[in-house]
Copies of this chain bind each other. A is one copy, B any other.
């Protein structure tokens, strides 16, 4: 079985008192129209992620070959879309304890660390822990001005220069806009190697560009197969209206409209897909959370993406999902064949005899079935996506599945899934409070507003 399977039995209402959708409503006219608008999005050429499966990866492969031997560690300095994809690929495809492996066991490929915050210890602690000379730093920011990323770069650079003097250049590679931005200029002036964040691909859709692929390549992930998997999914979606992405989006959309179900839980039964869920959270939240629709009316659209990992979160969040408010739609991901597994033999403890002759993964997947069907009994609609095994092709497919589903949902909601106007204001206030030139007015306006608020707090 090399196919993915999307099982949506648990999303169908059996009766009118049941929460779910009608089987024959999946492909109704509104869905057809949104599908056609999604095709138009692709044809517009404005949203480059649709074309990434055809990306040329020669430069990445050459650079990896040239540089690999010189390093043990690859450190990504990025945030949001310039970090979540890197973490996701690392976690999905390489062994869970990869960074603890000695070099031989890594076949010469690098450990990968992603520094995606300005918690001081995240960077400074790492600089104290790894061998800087054997570390390649990849600074990733489209604009070149992302405060968090550039902060981390400035401090990493300081350490690099202390250790390596003018040779620091060989330990840095910059991924930024092809022409614009201060980082492009800086790289040219300082003769630092560069890669490209394409102009027409937003951060959260950029994992299959140089942004996500470079670190993956340095840790030995087959990026060619990743792109082939994405191409396969693209073909499935664009060659027929009646495809699994349409079904998924139609279910999520109808549950929202019929019942105001606006919490979207992604629950892989796999520790490897824990960061896949984090990656999905950004994609779904930032794309679909929008104040206005395409006509400018205030709609405050949005579905809250929630990460859960099975079976672990059966012991954390599932009580709420089973018994709490009926505002949740769950998508499970399960893996048919695990790369590591083991079978129970001769169990001495009587109460655990029932596990005999089963494998660990059978227990895991049986728990998934039991959880999905219990939720359905409790009127919590859910679907299950089964994937044959974790490999590059399948992860590429999975990435493209959720990216396209997100674009499709944007069309269903009649909003722009590709911008993020709601994050600008806080950036400007930060600049204003940090004393950046040109932000004096912003500071004044901020302080005036602030003065209107009450000032209430309690010490303890």
Which of A's residues lie within 8 Å of B, judged by CB?
3-10, 12, 14, 23, 79-81, 83-84, 95-97, 99-101, 116-126, 128-129, 144-145, 147-148, 150-151, 154-155, 182, 186, 203, 233, 236, 243-244, 247, 262-263, 269-272, 278, 281-282, 285-286, 288-291, 300-302, 304, 306-307, 309-312, 314-328, 338-342, 344, 347, 349-355, 358-364, 366-367, 369-371, 373-374, 376-378, 420-423, 425-427, 429-431, 433-437, 446, 449-450, 452-460
Contact = CB atoms under 8 A, between A and B. Distances in A.
Given A154-B344, A458-B244, A374 B120 contact: no
B120 A97 contact: no
Contacts of A315: 79-81, 203, 282, 423
Nearest to A290: B323
A433 B101 CA distance: 37
Contacts of A363: 118, 147-148, 151, 430, 434
A354 to B, nearest CB: 4
Given A96-B121, A324-B289, A457-B6, A422 B370 contact: no
A48 to B, nearest CB: 20
A460 B117 contact: no
A312 B116 contact: yes
Contacts of A97: 125-126, 128-129
A95 B186 CA distance: 34
A95 B121 contact: yes
Contact of A426 (B10, B302, B374): B374
With most chain B CB atoms within 10 A of its CB, the pick from A307, A360, A434 is A360
Given A121-B340, A150-B349, 15 more contacts: A3-B459, A5-B457, A10-B453, A14-B453, A121-B271, A148-B363, A154-B347, A182-B350, A263-B304, A286-B316, A288-B324, A290-B324, A366-B433, A373-B429, A373-B450
Highest count of chain B CB atoms <10 Å: which of A118, A429, A446: A118
A309 to B, nearest CB: 7
B9 A454 contact: yes
Contacts of A431: 354
A118 B429 contact: no
A80 B370 CA distance: 18
A314 B422 CA distance: 10
A288 B316 CA distance: 12
B120 A359 contact: yes
Contacts of A306: 304, 306
B421 A323 contact: yes
A408 to B, nearest CB: 15
Contacts of A322: 289, 291, 422-423, 425
B182 A351 contact: yes
A335 to B, nearest CB: 9
Contacts of A378: 422
Contacts of A453: 9-10, 12, 14, 376
B300 A9 contact: no
Contacts of A244: 458, 460
Contacts of A450: 373
Given A263-B304, A366-B434, A319 B129 contact: no
A460 B243 contact: yes
B373 A319 contact: no
A243 B458 CA distance: 8
B300 A326 contact: yes
A286 B457 contact: no
Contacts of A5: 457-460
B271 A154 contact: no
B434 A358 contact: yes
Contacts of A327: 262, 304
A130 to B, nearest CB: 8
B129 A101 contact: yes
Contacts of A9: 453-457
A17 to B, nearest CB: 13
Nearest to A320: B289
Given A118-B364, A270-B119, A460-B244, A14 B452 contact: yes
